[in-house]
Structure 1
Amino acid sequence: MVGDKETLLNLEYPKVLSLIADYCETEMGRELILNLLPFSEIEEIKKEFTNLEYYLSLKEKPSYRHFFNLAEFLDKKFKKEHYFDGATLILIKNFLKNVEEIKKYFSFPKPPESFLAYLKNLDNYKELINLIENQISEDGDLRYESFPQLLTLISQMREVRNRIVNKLNKIIKEEKNILTIENYTLVGERYVLPIKINFVNKFPGIVHDYSESEKTAFCEPLAIIEDNNLLIKLTRLLAEEKKKILKELTQKIIERSVAIAQTVKTIAYLDALNAKAKFIEEYNCQKIEISQKNEFQISSARHPLLLKLKGEVTPLSFQLPKDIKILLISGPNAGGKTVVLKTIGIISLLTQAGIFPPVGFNSKIPFFKKIYALIGDEQSLEAGFSSFHAHIKKIKDILRDADNESLILLDELGTDTSPQEGDALAMAILEELSKKNCFVFATTHSPRLKIFAHNSSKIMNAAMEYKEKPTYRLILGIPGDSSALEIAKTIGLEDKIIEKAKEYLTSDFLVIKTKLNEWERILKEYQEKMENLKAEREKLKNLIDQYEEKNKKLEKILKNYQKEFLKEKENFFIQARRELENLIKKIKEKEKEAIKEAKEFIANNLVTIQEEKKFLFSSAEAKELKIGSTVYIEKLNQIGKIIEIKNNLLKVLTKKIIITVPREEVRLLKEDE
C-alpha cells in the first residue's frame, strides 16, 4: 500500500475522491472511485494515463445514467423468485441494448491496447437481445404470436368463455326479476350472477359469496359449472406454459451471468473514467510526467479542495535542484506551509491513482512506492499518548520503512517538546532520512534548523513569502521569517507588548534574524534579475517568432505570385496559338513558308514557358548574383546565364545573343523542388 490510512486522511485524499465521485452517473462507478487507492506499480499508472488520454480525446462521450448493478439485481431476484418476470426481462434487455450502444463511442479513434482490454469485457449481447425482443413485448407481456401452444390455449379459453357468457346472458334475460343487477360478475375465477337474497333457495346454483348488505347472493348457475371448471383449468395451463417460457428465458440469461458481471464492472470503470475526465476538465488538470530521473518539478499546482472552496488560489511552483531531496520550508503562521505539504501530497497521490492532477504543463515528479504524511495534531487521548509521543512513534516507523522511493511530508518537525531537544532530534532525523535518499518536505519555525539546512549540501531552505501579509508563494533558497511580532501587531496586539517582546529577544536570535534577512534580500535581488532576464528572453522570442511568421507569409505570397504569373503567360500563348492556327487555316497554299514561321514562333514561346515553369523566382536582392547564375530578363522575356558582372551591369548569354542589362531588370531563377 502506497499510503496508510492515516496518511490518506492527513492529505484529505478521501475528500478529493468524493469530489471526483460526484461526477459519476452510476452508484457502482461512484463506489469504484471512493475505494480507489494509489497504484504501487508504475506500469499501472501509465496504463491509466493512457486510458485517460484516450477518453479525453473522444469528441462525444457516452452517458451512463441508465446503467445500474444488473448482476447484483439479478442475483437477488433469482434467489427470491427463481425466474424473471416480463418486466425484469425488459429491464435486462434495455440494459444490454445500452451496452451495445456505448460500444459505438469507442470505435474512433482506435482505442489503445490498455483500453481495449476493458472493452473486451463488454460481451456481444445482440442474440440475447433479439431473443427477448421476439418473446417479450415492451409492456412486459409475452408475445403470444411467437408461441403456437399459447395461441391454442387462448383460443380454447375464448371459446369456453363465450359459451359461459352466452349461457349467462340467456339466464339474465329469462330471470331478470330475481337479479339485483342485470349483469354477471366474477368471484375469484368463477362466473356468477347477483341473485336477490329471497330467491336464493329457488335458484339452481352454488352460492360463492354475499354482498356487504347481505341482500345479494353471488351464485354460480349449475349450467356453467362444467365450463367454469374447464376455463379455470385452461387458465392455469396458460399460466404454467407462460412460466415455463419465462424460466427458459431466465436460464438463457443465467448462462450469461458471468459475462454480465464483467460487463457491469467495465461499465463501472468507464463511468469512473468519465468522472475523472470531467474532474480534469473542470479543474484544468494536466498530465504529469513520472520522472525516471528523480526530477521534482511542480508548475502551477493547486489543491482541488481549495479550488472548490475559493475558486482561485495562489498556485504552487518550484523545481528542486538535482542534488537536493530535502526541502525545509519556513515562514509565518497561516503563511501556507501546511498547504504546500498537502498540495505536494495530494498531487502525488492523484498521480499514482492514475488521475491527472491540477498542475500546469511540464510538471514532473518521481514514482513513490511509499508516501508518509505527519500533518496536524497526532495526540491520542484514548491511547494515552501526548502529541510528542505520537509524533515520534510515527517517525520511528518511517525511519524503519522509508527508502529511496519514499515521499515524506513532516509538518512542524521537532515541536511539542523543548526547543533545544526538539531541534536536535529534528536535525538527526533529517540526517538519517538524507542517508536513506528519501524525498522529504518539512516545515519549521526553528532558526537553528534553518541554519542547519543552510550548512547542509543535501538540504535546501525555502520560504513562504511575506509582504506585510502572506502571499502564499514558495521561494526556494532562503529560509522564511516566522514574523510572529509583525503578525501579532497586524492582529491588534498592543504596541507596548510588541516592544517588550523585542527586548526579550536574545542577541543570538537577533544575529540569526539579521542573517536571514540578509539572505532573503540577496536572493530577492537575484530573483528579480532572473525575472527581468526571463521577460527579456520571452520578448526576444516573441519578436523572432513574429519575424519568422511574416517571412513565411511573404515567401508563400511570392511563390503563389510566381506560379500564377507563369500560368497566365502559358494560357496567353496557348490562346494565341489557337487564334493563329485559325488564321493559318485561311491562308492559301502559297503562304506555306509564312505558316511555318508562325508555328515555329508559337512552339518556341511555348518551350520557353515550359522551361520557366521548372523554376521559381527569388529576388536578386535575397541571394547574390554570380557568374553562371541562371536569370530571367523580364522586359525581353528571355532566359540566360550570366557570363560577366561589372558594377550594376550584367552580360547575359541567351540562346542566340549576348545581352547587357541592369541588375534590377533580372530575376534569379532556381529549380522548383
Structure 2
Amino acid sequence: MNSKVLATLEFNKIRQQLAEHAASALGREQAENLMPSLSFEEVVRFQEETDEAAQVLRLKGHAPLGGIHNIRPHVKRAQIGGVLNGTEFVQIASTIHAGRMMKNFIMDLNEEEDIYPILSEKEAAIPVLTALEHQIKHTVDEHGGVLDSASSALRHIRQQLRANESRIRGKLESLIRGRNAQKMLSDAIITIRNDRYVIPVKQEYRSHYGGIVHDSSSTGQTLFIEPESVVQMNNQVRELKISEQQEIDRIFAELSVEVEAHGHELYVLVGVLSDLDFMFTKAKYGKTIKATKPAVNDNGFIRLNQGRHPLLSIEEAVPSDIELGKDYTSIVITGPNTGGKTVTLKTVGLTVLMAQAGLQIPALDGSETAVFQSVYADIGDEQSIEQSLSTFSSHMVNIVDILKKVDHESLVLFDELGAGTDPQEGAALAISILDEVHKRGARIIATTHYPELKAYGYNREGVINASVEFNVETLSPTYRLLVGVPGRSNAFEISKRLGLSASIIDQARQSVGTDTNEIDQMIASLEQSRKLAEEEEKEAKEYLKHAERLHEDMQKQMQDFYANEEALKEKARQQAAEIVEQAKAEAEQVIRELRTLRLEKGAEVKEHELIDAKRRLSEAAPEPKKAKKKPSVKAKQGLKPGDEVKVLSFDQKGQLLEKSGKDEWQVQIGIMKMKVKESDMEFVKSEKKPDPKPMASLRGRDFHVNLELDLRGERYEDALAKVEKYIDDALLAGYSRVSIIHGKGTGALRKGVQDYLKGHRSVKRSRFGEAGEGGSGVTVVELK
C-alpha cells in the first residue's frame, strides 16, 4: 500500500491510537508497524482474530496480558555465550508466567464454550516452561537480586559476611561511644567509604585512632578513617564479598546456559504472546470507538451502515449510510465547500484501510468492505513552494501518477477534482478523468463544486450523484450524506439570511441562467422529498414496532387463556356443585324442622306437601347462565372448509381450515390459527369457489411450519433449496412474516439468501433482524 496514501488518509494516527491499548512493548511494536493487507484470505483471518478477542472482552472484560517483556535480546545474548543479569532473568520468568496464565485463561474459556478456534490454536502453541520459571524465581528476587537460596555456597558466604560485618559494627560502635569520642569525632556515626567501614574523625585527632584514611570532607576538617582495630576484619569482609560475587557469576552463568537451552521455545513464546497482545489491542481499540466486524469481499463492494470517521469523537462524528460497487461504482459528491465532503472521502478510505489491516470499523452491524489491491487519494491543498507548483499543478501530478497505475481492483478518492484553474476547463478535465478511471473499473468517490458535474451522475451508467446536507436556517452544514441528491448552491439563501438586500438578490437570480435556477429548484424539491420520506419511514418503523408488540401481547394472552380455560371451567363447576350441595343441605334442614313440628305440635302438614316443598326447593337451586347462541342455519346443514364464520368469543371473522375434532374446527383469524368449538361460531357465508382440497389439508392434518428456518452449518446450494421450499410452506400455512437464521460468518450465505428473497414474487420485503432478533445474523421476511 502506498505510504503517501496512508499519510494522506491519516492512517498513522489510527496506528498511534491503537498502540495506546497495547499491554506490552511487543503489542505496541506490532501496532506501530501495522499495514493493510492485500490478501483476501489474510484480511478474513485478521478480522476473525479481532472478533474472537472482542467476544472474550465482552464475556470476561479483560485478558491476563500483564508481565510480558521483549526477551528476544536476552535469549540472543545467552545463545552467543553471554551471561545475563538479574533484571534480564526476572523479565524472562515474568514472560514465562504470563504465557502460563494466558494458556490457562484460554483453556478455561474453551471449557465454557468452544467457539474460539484461533485462540485455541495460539494456546496450543504456547510452550510450558514451568521448570525454568521456578529455577529463575528460586535464584533471583523480583528486583533482580540473588537470593541466598540460589546455592548452599552462597548461603554460607553470606552468613560469614553478615557475622563479620556485625563484629565490625560492634567494634566501631564501642569507639564512637568512648569517653573522648564526642571531642574527637565530627559525628557519632558509622559510615562506608570504598566498601569499608569508617568513622568521621576530626583532622587534629587522626593519630589517636591510627588506621587508614579513605576520604575527607570538603573543608578538610573531617577525615573518614578506618581504625587500625578493624582493618583486618574489613579485609575479611572484602574477601568474602569477592567470593560472593564469584559465586553469583557462576550461578548466573549456569542459569544463562539453561536459558540458551530453551532458546527456541522462548522465541516461540514471545511470538505467540506478541500476537495475542496485538489481537486484544485491536479488540480494545474497536471497543473504544464502538466498532463492529465488517463482512469482507473481493468484488469491490462497500456498504457502511451509519459509518463514522474513526478519528472524530463519537459525539462529533455524523454517521452516514454509504454504498458503492453494486448498483453504481462511482459517487460524485457536489455542493459548496466546508460541507463535509472531504470528511466523507476520508471516512470511506480510512475505513477500507482499517478493515484490510484487521481492525473493526466504526459502523453498525451488517457493514461490508472490499479488499482492494491499491487505494489512491488526491485530497487537500498540496501546493508546493519548493517545487514551484501551484495547487492545480500539484493535484495534476498526483492524478497523472494515479492514472498510470489504477485498475479494476483500485479505490480512488478525488477531492475537488479539477479545482484551481478556469472553471469550464476544470470541469471538462474532471469529467474526462472520471470517465477514464470509471472505464477501467475502479471504485470512485469524487467531490467537486462544479455545477457541470451535477449532470454527470444522470448521464453515466454506474454513476450516482450525492451531496452533503446544508441547513440554511443555521447557516451550517449538517454533514449528513444524501446519496442520489446532487448538491446545490445556497449562496442566495445564505445572503438573504445574513441581511443582503432582496433587490440585489433578485437581480442576481435574474443573472443566473434559467436552467441553473430550474436545477436548483429540482434539487431543493428532492431534498424536501427525501426528508419527508425519512420522517415517514421513521414513523412507519415506530408503528410497526408498536404493532408487533401488541401482536405479541395478544398472542401471549390467548395462549394463557387457552392454557387456563379448562382449569377455570373445572373451578367454576366445583364452585357450582358446592352451592348446590349447600342449598340441598338447607332444604333438608327445613324439611326436618317441618316434620318435627308436625310430630311434636300436631301441625297439619302432610307428607306429600313435604315432598312438594322439597321439589320446589331443589328447583330454586341456582343454575349457571348459558350464553345465548344465535341460530345458525348452516350449522344444521354442516360446515365445510373455506366457509367464513364469526368467532363469537372474540367478535372476529375467520375462515374454516379443517375439522380438528367432533365439534371443533381450526379457524384462520388474520395471521393466527386457533381451535374453536362449533358452538362458539356463527356462519357468515360460503366460499364463492369451494376448493375440494383446501390449501391447509393438502399438507395433511399434522403438517406444521415453524416461524423460523435455521440454515447455520448448511452448504450454500442446500441452504438456498431449503429457503425456496420454506417460503412455499410458509405461504401455504398463511404466514405473513417469517425469520431465516443464516448467521454472520463470511457473509456469503447471508448475501445469497438476500439476493434470492429480492427476486421472489411472493416476498413483499426483507430486512436484517433488530438487536433483540439476532442482528445481521437473521433476515426477517414479510410475505405477500
**TM-score strictly above 0.5:** yes
The answer to whether structure 1 residue 5 and structure 2 residue 3 are counterparts is: yes
Cα pair 1:290 1:365 within 8 Å, conserved? yes
Cα distance 1:136–1:623, how it changes in 2: closer, same or farther (>3 A)? farther
| Amino acid in the other structure paired with 2:106 | F
How many Å separate the matches in 2 of 1:646 and 1:48?
A: 64
Q: Which residue of 2 aligns with 1:240?
A: 246
Q: Which residue of 1 aligns with 2:719?
A: none
How many Å separate the matches in 1 of 2:680 and 2:141?
A: 95
Cα distance 1:160–1:383, how it changes in 2: closer, same or farther (>3 A)? closer
Cα distance 1:516–1:504, how it changes in 2: closer, same or farther (>3 A)? closer
Match of 2:317 among 308, 313, 319: 313
Cα pair 2:334 2:451 within 8 Å, conserved? no
How many Å separate the matches in 2 of 1:140 and 1:517?
A: 78
How many Å separate the matches in 2 of 1:97 and 1:14?
A: 33
Q: Which residue of 2 aligns with 1:455?
A: 459
How many Å separate the matches in 1 of 2:423 and 2:228?
A: 102
User: 1:590-609 maps to which residues of 2 (within 5 A)?
Assistant: none
**Deviation per CA, 1:451-489, whole angstroms, max 9, x where unpaired?**
233222232112223342433322222321122333345
How many Å separate the matches in 1 of 2:559 and 2:199?
A: 103
Cα pair 1:197 1:216 within 8 Å, conserved? no
Cα distance 1:485–1:16, how it changes in 2: closer, same or farther (>3 A)? farther
For structure 1, the 5+ residue unaligned runs are 570-618, 633-644, 650-668
Further displaced range: 112-121 or 210-219: 210-219
User: 1:41-60 maps to which residues of 2 (within 5 A)?
Assistant: 41-58=39-56, 59-60=59-60
Cα pair 2:26 2:70 within 8 Å, conserved? no
Q: Which residue of 2 aligns with 1:357?
A: 361
User: 1:440-589 maps to which residues of 2 (within 5 A)?
Assistant: 440-468=444-472, 469=475, 470-490=477-497, 498=505, 501-502=508-509, 504-505=511-512, 507=513, 510-518=514-522, 520-521=524-525, 524-525=528-529, 528-529=532-533, 532=536, 535-536=539-540, 539-540=543-544, 542-544=546-548, 546-548=550-552, 550-552=554-556, 554-555=558-559, 558-559=562-563
Cα pair 1:294 1:366 within 8 Å, conserved? yes
| Amino acid in the other structure paired with 1:15 | K
How many Å separate the matches in 1 of 2:195 and 2:530?
A: 98
**Deviation per CA, 1:114-151, whole angstroms, max 9, x where unpaired?**
33454455432311111122233456544434523334
Cα pair 1:195 1:218 within 8 Å, conserved? no
Cα distance 1:485–1:75, how it changes in 2: closer, same or farther (>3 A)? farther
Deviation at 1:501, TM superposition (A): 4.2
Cα pair 2:106 2:119 within 8 Å, conserved? no
Q: Which residue of 2 aligns with 1:100?
A: 100
Please state whether the residue corresponding to 2:342 is helix, strand or coil. helix
Q: Which residue of 1 aligns with 2:686?
A: none
How many Å separate the matches in 1 of 2:526 and 2:162?
A: 103
How many Å separate the matches in 2 of 1:264 and 1:541?
A: 52
Cα distance 1:385–1:85, how it changes in 2: closer, same or farther (>3 A)? same
User: 1:183-202 maps to which residues of 2 (within 5 A)?
Assistant: none
Q: Over aligned residues, Cα RMSD in angstroms?
A: 4.8
The answer to whether structure 1 residue 341 and structure 2 residue 345 are counterparts is: yes
Please state whether the residue corresponding to 2:312 is helix, strand or coil. helix
Please state whether the residue corresponding to 2:12 is helix, strand or coil. helix
Cα pair 1:192 1:220 within 8 Å, conserved? no
How many Å separate the matches in 1 of 2:703 and 2:523?
A: 64
| Amino acid in the other structure paired with 1:476 | V
Deviation at 1:68, TM superposition (A): 5.7
Cα pair 1:190 1:220 within 8 Å, conserved? no
How many Å separate the matches in 2 of 1:312 and 1:294?
A: 29
| Amino acid in the other structure paired with 2:311 | L
Cα pair 2:489 2:520 within 8 Å, conserved? no
For structure 2, the 5+ residue unaligned runs are 574-646, 665-676, 682-700, 705-784
Cα pair 1:16 1:305 within 8 Å, conserved? yes
Cα pair 1:300 1:316 within 8 Å, conserved? yes
Q: Which residue of 1 aligns with 2:34?
A: 36
How many Å separate the matches in 1 of 2:392 and 2:659?
A: 89
Q: Per chain length, whose mean CA-contact separation is higher, i.e. which structure has more relative contact order (CA < 8 Å, sep 6+)?
A: 1
**Deviation per CA, 1:17-56, whole angstroms, max 9, x where unpaired?**
3333333344443343232221111222211221222112
How many Å separate the matches in 1 of 2:449 and 2:310?
A: 27
Q: Which residue of 1 aligns with 2:89?
A: 89
Please state whether the residue corresponding to 1:70 is helix, strand or coil. coil
Cα pair 1:160 1:231 within 8 Å, conserved? yes
How many Å separate the matches in 2 of 1:230 and 1:220?
A: 14
Match of 2:148 among 137, 144, 150: 144
Q: Which residue of 2 aligns with 1:664?
A: none
How many Å separate the matches in 2 of 1:295 and 1:197?
A: 90
Q: Which residue of 2 aligns with 1:573?
A: none
| Amino acid in the other structure paired with 2:50 | L
**Deviation per CA, 1:230-259, whole angstroms, max 9, x where unpaired?**
665444233212220122123323444554
Percent of matched pairs sharing the same residue = 27
User: 1:131-210 maps to which residues of 2 (within 5 A)?
Assistant: 131-138=135-142, 140-145=144-149, 147-153=151-157
